[in-house]
Structure 1
Amino acid sequence: MRSFAISALREPSFTAGRHKSTDLVANESVDWARAFGLVNSGQIHRLQQADAAGLAGRACPDGPARGLRLLTDLISWLFVMDDACDEDGLGADPSRLAPVIAALLNVLDRAGDPRAVPPPEAGPLGAALHDLCRRTRAEGRAPMLLRFVSQVRQYLLALLWEASNRERRRVPGVTEYVQLRRHIGGVHPCLTLTDLASEQPPGPARRADPALTALDLLAVDLVCWCNDLFSYGKESRSGPDAHNLVTVIAQESGLDEAGALRAAADRFNRGLAAYQAAEEGLLASGVAALRSPLAARRNWVRATYDWSVVAARYA
C-alpha cells in the first residue's frame, strides 16, 4: 500500500530539511519516555522504530535544540497513546478509556504548574503529559501554553468519539470524519510547539487572521490524509479501519477499495493544490510576521510525506 501512496500522491514541492540535532534528540526522547514509564524494556524498540525525532526533525529543521526536543517528546507521547488505543485495545472500549481520559484532563487543568503534582491515577501518561505542559509553560508564552493545553484536550475528547465508533462498529460519514480527524491526529498541538520553537511565533492577533486559520486547517488535513493513505495497508490487515479516509469514502460513496483509494489520493492532491495557492496569496501580502508560521506549516506537510515514505511504523 505504501507503493500506491507514493505513486498516487503528489509529492509536496516544498524544500525538505532536517534539524542538525535530530539524532541526539532521538536518543534523549527515548530515554525520557523510559524514565516516565511510558515504555518498558519490551516496548522500547517499537518506540525507536516509530522515529518521532525523524518526523520532528523534518518538521522543525531550525531553531534551538530544546524546541526540537519538546516537539519530539510530544510526538513520542502521542505515539504511545495511539498504540495504547489502537493496538493494546484501550481505544475499543469507552468504559475503559473514559477514566484514563478523565485523569489526563485533570493533568491538563494544572496547565503545567511546576508546584502541582499530577494525580496518581493519571499514571505514566499523566506524569509525562504534565512534564510537557510544564516545559511549555517555562518558555514564557502564556497564550501558546493555553492553546497547547486546549488542543491536547480536544485530542483526548476526540479519542472517546473514536472509541464509541469502534464499540458500535460504526463508520462515520466523510464530513464528520474530516472534522474529528483533525483532532485525533494530534497535529494541532504539534504545530503549536513548532511555532513555539521558532524565533518569531505568531501572536494572538495574527493567529485570529481568517486566512491563516484556513491555511492551518488545510495543513492539518493534508498531514492527516497523507497519514491515512500511507497507513491504510497496515490498519486494514484485519479488516477495514473505520477511522481512515479510505474507509469512510468507500462507505459513503459505495466505491470499492481501489476506487476509494484513488478518491482519497485525489482529495489529498486537490488539498495540496489549494494549500499552495492559499500560501502564495499570503506570501504575496508581504507581511513579514507570516513567514515563520507559513514555513512551519509548509515544513509539516513536507515532513509528513517524507517521513511516511520510510516510516517503519507503517510497514
Structure 2
Amino acid sequence: MPDLVSHCTFKLRINRHRKQITSETKKWLFQGDNLVGKARDKYHGLKAGLLTSMCYPDAAAPQLRVCNDYLTYLFHLDNLSDDMDNFGTTTTADVVLNSLYHPYTYRCPARVGRMTRDYYKRMLPTASAGCQQRFIETFDFFFQSVTQQAIDRASGVIPDLESYVALRRDTSGCKPCWALIEYANNLDIPDAVMDHPVLREMGEAANDLVTWSNDIFSYNVEQSKGDTHNMIPVVMNERGLDLQGAVDFVGELCKQAIDRFNYARSCLPSWSPKIDRDVDVYADGLANWMVGSLHWSFETERYFGKDGHTVKATRVINLLPRRAKRRPRRSATGAGVKKHRSIVTLCSPMPNSRLGVPVISVLSESPGAKDSA
C-alpha cells in the first residue's frame, strides 16, 4: 500500500471527551440489549468513538456525542446499503429524510427513524440554519448516490473513472460530516462564504483523500465479497492495470488530494476578522478529518481485523479468498409498504422519492427485539 500517513503531515489530536461519549453512544445504540455475539463484537471493533474524537478534537462533550452517535449510525447505514438493492435503499432513505425534515411531527416505527430524530433534535438547538440545511441536503445526496450504486451493483456495471469519482463523493457520506464540523465548533459561516470556489475545493479535496484512501483500505474485504464499487477495480478496468498498479495509481491520487487541499487553503481570501477565524477553524476541521481518518483506519478492525498495526508498519496485505455472493436484502414489507406521499412532497427534494416504512434487519424493530440496532 502507498504510505499516505507520512504524506499527510497535519497534527493528529484526540478529543478529551472520547471515553465519555463512547460509553454514552454505546448505551444509545444498545437500547434493549439486542446486539449480541458477532454484532456486538463488530461494534467494539469499529472504534467509532476514536474516529469521532480524532476528527472533532475541539468539540465540547454534547456536540461530540451527537457527532459520535451520527457516525456510529452512519456505519450501520453503510452496511445496510452495501447489502440492499435499490428498493431497500430507497425506503430507508424515505424514513431518514422525513425524520430530518420533520423531526417533531413525522412518526415511524422503524428504529432507524427514531435514531435519526433523536440525534437531530439534539443537534438543532446550537446548529446554525446554514449548517442544518447543508447537513440535510448532503445527506439527501448520500441516499440518491447509494441508490444509484445499488442499481449499478444489481446490473453488474463497473463505471468509468469520472462517473465513479462523481458518485463516490456522495456515497462516502463525508459531506454531512463536513456540516458537522460547523456544528461541533459552533461556527456560523455565511452561505456565500461556504459556496466560495476555494472553500468548495478544500472540501472536495478532503473528501477525495478520505474516500479514495478508504477504497484502498477497504479493497481487500470488498473484493472478497465481489464488490466492484471501489476505485481500484474501476481503475483496473478502465486503464488495464494490474492490482498493484491500480493501488499505486489511487495512492498517487490520494497524495495529490492532500496537495490540492494545502494549495487551496493558501489561496483563501479574506472576508472579515470573525469570518476569517471561523473559516480557519473549518479548514482545520477538514484537516482533522484527513489525518484522523488515515490513522483510525489502522486502529479499527473494519478493514484489517486485528492486524491494523502490522499493516500500517509493513503496508502489505494478504488477499482474502472470495466468498459466496449473497442476494441483496430488501425491505421486508415489499410491495405492501405504506406510502405517505403528502409528507414526501413537502419534505424531500428528490423528485422520485417514495416514503415507506421498512423493516430493517439491523436498525428496525422486530418481535421480541424492542430496540435492536
TM-score when normalising by structure 1: 0.89
More helix by share: 1
Structure 2: segments with no counterpart, 5+ residues = 305-373
Cα separation, 1, equivalents of 2:256 and 2:270: 21
Matched, 1:289 2:284: no
- Aligned partner of 1:272 in structure 2 is 258
Structure 1 stretch 284-293 or stretch 147-156: which is displaced more? Answer: 284-293
> Could you tell me which of 216, 219, 231 is aligned with 1:232?
219
Cα separation, 1, equivalents of 2:24 and 2:48: 11
The residue type paired with residue 314 of structure 1 is Y
The residue type paired with residue 141 of structure 1 is S
> Could you tell me which of 14, 29, 52 is aligned with 1:18?
14
Cα separation, 1, equivalents of 2:95 and 2:4: 42
Do the aligned residues in 2 keep the contact of 1:30 with 1:44 (CA within 8 Å)? no
The Cα offsets for residues 117-156 of structure 1, whole Å up to 9 and x where unpaired, read as 4322xx1111111112212212252221121111111111
Matched, 1:301 2:296: no
Q: Aligned-pair distance for 1:186?
A: 0.7
TM-score when normalising by structure 2: 0.75
- Aligned partner of 2:99 in structure 1 is 107
1:264 is paired with a residue whose SS is helix
Q: 1:163 and 1:17, CA in 2 relative to 1: closer, same or farther beyond 3 A?
A: same
> Could you tell me which of 40, 52, 57 is aligned with 1:61?
57
Q: Superposition RMSD on alpha carbons, in Å? A: 2.1
Q: 1:154 and 1:97, CA in 2 relative to 1: closer, same or farther beyond 3 A?
A: same
Cα separation, 2, equivalents of 1:22 and 1:283: 34
Q: 1:97 and 1:140, CA in 2 relative to 1: closer, same or farther beyond 3 A?
A: closer
Cα separation, 2, equivalents of 1:288 and 1:104: 34
Do the aligned residues in 2 keep the contact of 1:36 with 1:128 (CA within 8 Å)? no
The residue type paired with residue 301 of structure 1 is M
Do the aligned residues in 1 keep the contact of 2:93 with 2:143 (CA within 8 Å)? yes
- Aligned partner of 1:77 in structure 2 is 73
- Greater RCO, CA 8 A, separation 6+: 2
- Aligned partner of 2:23 in structure 1 is 27
- Aligned partner of 1:40 in structure 2 is 35
Do the aligned residues in 2 keep the contact of 1:36 with 1:127 (CA within 8 Å)? no
1:17 is paired with a residue whose SS is coil
Cα separation, 2, equivalents of 1:140 and 1:98: 27
Q: Aligned-pair distance for 1:312?
A: 0.8
- Aligned partner of 1:195 in structure 2 is 182
- Aligned partner of 1:310 in structure 2 is 299
Cα separation, 2, equivalents of 1:10 and 1:174: 26
> Could you tell me which of 84, 88, 93 is aligned with 1:96?
88
Q: Aligned-pair distance for 1:180?
A: 1.2
The residue type paired with residue 108 of structure 1 is L
Do the aligned residues in 2 keep the contact of 1:8 with 1:262 (CA within 8 Å)? no
The residue type paired with residue 132 of structure 2 is L
Q: 1:117 and 1:280, CA in 2 relative to 1: closer, same or farther beyond 3 A?
A: same
Structure of greater Rg: 2
Q: 1:109 and 1:289, CA in 2 relative to 1: closer, same or farther beyond 3 A?
A: closer
> Could you tell me which of 158, 163, 170 is aligned with 2:150?
163
The residue type paired with residue 212 of structure 2 is W
Do the aligned residues in 2 keep the contact of 1:283 with 1:290 (CA within 8 Å)? no
- Aligned partner of 1:216 in structure 2 is 203
Q: 1:226 and 1:284, CA in 2 relative to 1: closer, same or farther beyond 3 A?
A: farther
The residue type paired with residue 138 of structure 2 is Q
The residue type paired with residue 68 of structure 1 is L
* Total equivalences in the alignment: 300
The residue type paired with residue 139 of structure 2 is V
- Aligned partner of 1:143 in structure 2 is 130
Do the aligned residues in 2 keep the contact of 1:29 with 1:72 (CA within 8 Å)? yes
Cα separation, 2, equivalents of 1:236 and 1:280: 38
Q: Aligned-pair distance for 1:278?
A: 1.6
Structure 1: segments with no counterpart, 5+ residues = none
The residue type paired with residue 106 of structure 1 is N
Do the aligned residues in 1 keep the contact of 2:5 with 2:291 (CA within 8 Å)? no
